[in-house]
A = this chain, B = another copy of it.
């Protein structure tokens, strides 16, 4: 017997309608990308205006021939026009495909061709990049510069129109269609360190459920009394869901554009009274050094989520002590929309002494309801949730992908998505990331965490950056090699570094050898490319 409840679908357009009905005057402030002479550097709008412009944009998309489920690409920073694209594209039944402009042009072209984007919208400081893309992307029928006619890019871009011209030609009457909630809404490609990028195709349903969950008190904890600045870009897994929760919650939204340096961020944090933010460790490091150098005060700022990679302990402590800001680690991935866990303590943890509490506060996060997780050993056998055993981390839930876009090979294992992380789970749902599955070093049938070894190396004062990889070994299968970059002017020998491990780790975990390099190879998003390192050191002879 079915329940007798209304069959209202979980649609992205309902978020926009809610924002228009309940948050019409709530501000959305954006830093303008490349303001022209005399143009204001900051743009102010609100949900009432955005909702009207979204309806015009939906009409414009129809006029450009964008049909049901057609892909519309964006190469854009965090700003109000990008926000309008989020709602108008998905709301009208098409698919927004957000693209990372920091990838190589060939990668971007590959992604655009794989997605078969029909229209591509770009911020004007990316016009030089777009000029290169045009000949490589035959599926794109219209290139839309996110600006007005006065600022139209001068580059040679065929079929170029300006966003404001498109909107000006339309009226604001548009009925958002009553779509199937499982319909595709957004497409995000992973910037994998290996192979071609893979697309995660979110539905309206998955996006709405993720939006509810991400706003919870133990997740992002955002209310209509907050001012939120997403540093994480809207081309990076939908800025972790902030463009959607902004409409649900009705907090003031502050969009930093392309300027993510400490000075630019601090200017907006101070002027707009930002209370909450989200970003990767690198931007927090940049902001911290700017704050220290210029004695900036951020009294409104209280909390931020730090994700993308592990939060350095010193960063978390500095934010706490110097700024009074809780940096809460979060964990997720493109394939998870992205949120899986956020570090939020329970009542019993408030009574912990500093040390165990500090250790806990650095864990990747506590599971969000909606994401189930388990850890398994090499044979797929489930391991205990005791915070000690570690194994391959698998997840499932309504905002986890079941397939990649246009791929016929399911990534799932018995219905679970393998995250590629090696982790511990505890009885409270806290996840502790031990390593990436492909980076963990398999020595004598046991696993060694490359991350743990890297953290110890980086705790040595002479070391700027370190990576640990497994080198084939006839007896142990693999043994760890430490690849390290010395700080400028610092001196340290391999022997001294090996000695630094003593007492800090089980003896058999100690790296067998150290190789010094001038720099480590990085991906476009700043991660160390261990695949390249393994290639580079594949002939390395351990002592």
Shortest beta-carbon distance, A198 to chain B, in Å?
Answer: 11
Chain B residues with Cβ under 8 A from A180's Cβ? Answer: 2
Task: Report the nearest B residue to A426, measured CB to CB.
Answer: B22
Chain B residues with Cβ under 8 A from A479's Cβ? Answer: none
Q: In the complex, are the beta carbons of B5 and A249 less than 8 A apart?
A: no
Shortest beta-carbon distance, A281 to chain B, in Å?
Answer: 25
A114 sits at the interface (CB 8 A): no
> How many monomers of this protein are in the complex?
2
Q: In the complex, are the beta carbons of A225 and B429 less than 8 A apart?
A: no
Q: A interface, by DSSP: helix, strand, loop or mixed?
A: loop
Chain B residues with Cβ under 8 A from A205's Cβ? Answer: 3, 5
Given contacts A216-B216, A367-B22, contact A224 B396 (CB under 8 A): no
Query: What string of 1s and 0s marks CB contacts (under 8 Å) between A435-459 and chain B?
Result: 0000000000000000000000000
Chain B residues with Cβ under 8 A from A348's Cβ? Answer: 25
Q: In the complex, are the beta carbons of B369 and A18 less than 8 A apart?
A: yes
A401 sits at the interface (CB 8 A): yes
Task: Report the nearest B residue to A206, measured CB to CB.
Answer: B5
Given contacts A224-B344, A344-B223, contact A5 B216 (CB under 8 A): no
Q: What is the CA–CA distance of A407 and B427 in the complex, to the nearest angstrom?
A: 46
Query: What string of 1s and 0s marks CB contacts (under 8 Å) between A178-192 and chain B?
Result: 001011110000000
Shortest beta-carbon distance, A408 to chain B, in Å?
Answer: 12
Task: Report the nearest B residue to A213, measured CB to CB.
Answer: B212
Instruction: Give chain A interface residues in 1-16, CB to chain B under 8 Å.
Output: 1-8, 10, 14-15
Contact of A4 among B216, B248, B403 (CB under 8 A): B403
A346 sits at the interface (CB 8 A): yes
Interface centre among A3, A200, A213 (most CB of B within 10 A): A3
Q: In the complex, are the beta carbons of B6 and A249 less than 8 A apart?
A: no
A542 sits at the interface (CB 8 A): no
A301 sits at the interface (CB 8 A): no
Query: What string of 1s and 0s marks CB contacts (under 8 Å) between A496-540 and chain B?
Result: 000000000000000000000000000000000000000000000
Instruction: Give chain A interface residues in 140-176, CB to chain B under 8 Å.
Output: none
Contact of A401 among B2, B6, B204, B224 (CB under 8 A): B6
Chain B residues with Cβ under 8 A from A401's Cβ? Answer: 4-6
A33 sits at the interface (CB 8 A): no
Instruction: Give chain A interface residues in 209-225, CB to chain B under 8 Å.
Output: 209, 212-213, 215-218, 221-225
Contact of A216 among B15, B212, B350 (CB under 8 A): B212
A30 sits at the interface (CB 8 A): no
Q: In the complex, are the beta carbons of B252 and A8 less than 8 A apart?
A: no
Q: Interface residues of A, CB < 8 Å — how many?
A: 79
Q: What is the CA–CA distance of A215 and B398 in the complex, to the nearest angstrom?
A: 19
Q: In the complex, are the beta carbons of A428 and B23 less than 8 A apart?
A: yes
Q: In the complex, are the beta carbons of A216 and B218 less than 8 A apart?
A: no
Task: Report the nearest B residue to A19, measured CB to CB.
Answer: B369
Instruction: Give chain A interface residues in 398-432, CB to chain B under 8 Å.
Output: 398-405, 415, 417, 427-429
Given contacts A183-B1, A184-B2, contact A24 B217 (CB under 8 A): no
Given contacts A22-B367, A346-B224, contact A217 B2 (CB under 8 A): no
Contact of A385 among B21, B68, B95, B415 (CB under 8 A): B21
Q: In the complex, are the beta carbons of A2 and B346 less than 8 A apart?
A: no
Chain B residues with Cβ under 8 A from A17's Cβ? Answer: 372
Instruction: Give chain A interface residues in 353-373, CB to chain B under 8 Å.
Output: 366-367, 369, 372
Instruction: Give chain A interface residues in 198-252, CB to chain B under 8 Å.
Output: 200-206, 209, 212-213, 215-218, 221-227, 248-252
Shortest beta-carbon distance, A311 to chain B, in Å?
Answer: 20
A259 sits at the interface (CB 8 A): no
Task: Report the nearest B residue to A374, measured CB to CB.
Answer: B21
A197 sits at the interface (CB 8 A): no
Q: In the complex, are the beta carbons of A1 and B347 less than 8 A apart?
A: no
A397 sits at the interface (CB 8 A): yes
Given contacts A184-B1, A221-B217, A346-B225, contact A248 B369 (CB under 8 A): yes
Q: What is the CA–CA distance of A10 and B226 in the complex, to the nearest angstrom?
A: 29
On A, residues with C-beta under 8 Å from B are: 1-8, 10, 14-15, 17-18, 21-26, 68-69, 95, 180, 182-185, 200-206, 209, 212-213, 215-218, 221-227, 248-252, 344-348, 350, 366-367, 369, 372, 385, 396-405, 415, 417, 427-429
With A2-B183, A25-B348, A212-B369 already in contact, 9 other A-B pairs whose C-beta atoms are closer than 8 Å:
A4-B403, A5-B206, A18-B372, A18-B429, A23-B429, A216-B217, A218-B250, A225-B350, A252-B347
Q: List 28 A-B contacts (CB under 8 A).
A: A1-B69, A1-B95, A3-B201, A3-B203, A3-B205, A3-B206, A4-B203, A5-B182, A5-B205, A5-B402, A6-B400, A6-B415, A7-B398, A8-B396, A10-B209, A17-B372, A18-B367, A21-B385, A21-B429, A22-B428, A25-B348, A212-B369, A215-B217, A216-B217, A218-B224, A218-B250, A224-B346, A252-B347
